[in-house]
């Protein structure tokens, strides 16, 4: 099982590269049982979306 540190590391890497199957499953499992990382992940996605919309990094 991942530690919270490993899980958050994977979450940040997830933004930049495609995770392997094993990494994705491990991360998903961790987020399922860990409320803290679940919240962290959700916030990260919200922030990412907001940045994308404001920054105009990619056209829809």
Among 19, 23, 26, 34, binds Zn ion (CB under 5 A): 34
Tokens representing 21 are 């199957």
* Residue 44 Cα distances to 13, 27, 38, 40, angstroms: 12, 14, 10, 6
Query: Does residue 4 interact with Zn ion by CB under 5 A?
Result: yes
Which of 10, 11, 37, 41 is in the footprint of Zn ion by CB under 5 A?
37
Distance CA 57, CA 27 (A): 27
How many residues bind Zn ion (CB under 5 A)? The answer is 4
Would you count residue 44 as binding Zn ion (CB under 5 A)?
Answer: no
The two tokens of residue 28 are 């998903």
Binding site for Zn ion (CB under 5 A): 4, 7, 34, 37
């Amino acid at each position: 099982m991942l530690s919270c540190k490993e899980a958050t590391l994977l979450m940040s890497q997830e933004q930049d590269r495609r995770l392997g199957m094993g990494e994705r499953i491990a991360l998903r499992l961790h987020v399922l049982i860990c409320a803290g990382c679940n919240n962290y992940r959700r916030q990260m996605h919200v922030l990412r979306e907001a940045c994308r919309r404001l920054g105009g990094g990619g056209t829809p």
